[in-house]
Structure 1
């Protein structure tokens, strides 16, 4: 299934995308694509529904973040060997973990706002993993049992805030609009192998990133198991699994986003995003 949340920001309704690409309303079956609705048993119930029996959503409504009620937005740094190389970093011996504020989460096509005093706002297309049930001390072998599905994520990063200021990476990752999520939550049964997906990103029509999840240092199974050693993962939590090469920081000379730019990105089978870049008020 391809699950969506549509409507005005903060008042999104649950839906699914049918075989013709039309949104069907799920409000009579779940209150949101969040929490208990992500549990394996509930997803099985939704999968049994005939999409044609659900009300069709008229027009082209705004798409919100594809999962609601996210408690933790966990990111993995330098998780592609080729990305680590372009930034001059060493591949880490264990996953680098940092948090992105959940207030950064927006819809896949919402405006991307350059924060005040930003000089180095950068792009990063990433595979998102959405947790479906509580995971604590889970084995790598069983890890995917705790995954509800996958989505496209844009881990927008302000490099000066992230690297040149004192402290941790979080402040360079958490500005408002720095977490476009969606368009869909694609349930794991539709993703044959999360370690074999093409992902890409364009800025103003020019290809900047063109990679594959096959070059991840630490795969999805390992990451879910690893993170569950240090914190319980809850339904709706998001893991952003790292980015392939082609980020602005790695270019010579470096290149960063500015107001007026258009960013397009996507992952094979998981949909695409488009953001207009604007200056924050």
Structure 2
């Protein structure tokens, strides 16, 4: 089953998603995808992995890490399906990152790898945009690279764990304006989801709604205002986002300025 959060007529709703990406409200009404504003399906902290795909590490001329390289993204960075993300003025390189995301379903502390999937609510997709200009260290990206407002689309929905039989064998793809730019597989993850849950929960408690963004494969490219960027994880979801300029974004969202 697919679970989503949407805004309709000024109110937020938790909904299920049916064929054709229609959403069913609690009162039984069925709404089309274009009739609603899609919100991120989870709103907890996001623990994002750097260099978690062997091919991506090689693409950047780095040795594969021997321990997960995790950093935290704040909820203010999230935005939803079919929403816009802004490219800061005067930057040289901003790229997408198609990622499978694991969503925690219950408090997780000192979880064993073999029990890890019992602590998941499901899976979603994110596009973890990065401003390469500000990247000082691939191993620990600083805040300006990854924590800008509304620069991490998440969604469109969360898929139940039971509906994704093997999260370690899924295809990831990214398109810019309809042209396929990135394709990889979760088979190439260095640290898989059960390992990451065991690792993170060994020193902190993961809470319901927290997310683990598991990294991206090779195949990054620059994006500019006007681009439509689509990221897709097989069996989980297809997430659409459009890039606008800094001026256009803040004109559309004066409360963010």
Please give the TM-score of this superposition, normalised by the length of structure 2.
Answer: 0.89
Give the stretch that moved more between structures: 257-266 or 2-11.
Answer: 2-11
Greater share of strand:
2
Alignment match of 2:233 (pick from 267, 270, 276):
267
Equivalent pairs counted in the alignment come to 245
| CA separation of 1:128 and 1:118: change in aligned 2, threshold 3 A | same
Residue pairs, 1:51-130, within 5 angstroms: 54-57=28-31, 60-68=35-43, 70=44, 72-130=45-103
Q: 1:135 to 1:14 in 2, by over 3 A?
A: same
Q: Counterpart of 1:17?
A: 17
Moved more, 7-16 or 91-100: 7-16
Matches for 1:147-166 after TM superposition, within 5 Å: 147-163=120-136
Moved over 4 A (4+): 8-11
Residues 1:142 and 2:115 aligned together: yes
Distance 1:115 1:229 in 2: 37
2:151 corresponds, among 173, 178, 186, to: 178
Give the corresponding residue for 2:255: none
Asked whether the equivalents of residues 103 and 176 of structure 1 are also in contact (C-alpha less than 8 Å), the reply is: yes
- Cα 1:259–1:21 shift into 2, 3 Å: closer
SS at the partner of 1:142?
helix
Task: For residues 129-161 of structure 1, give each alpha carbon's deviation from its aligned partner in whole angstroms, at most 9, with x where no partner exists.
Answer: 110000011100111111100011101101111
Q: Any idea what the Cα deviations from partners look like across 1:88-133, whole Å, max 9, x if unmatched?
A: 1110010101112221100022111112442221110000111000
RMSD over aligned Cα atoms:
2.0
Residue of structure 2 equivalent to 1:33: none
Segments of structure 2 that go 5 or more residues without pairing to the other structure are 248-257
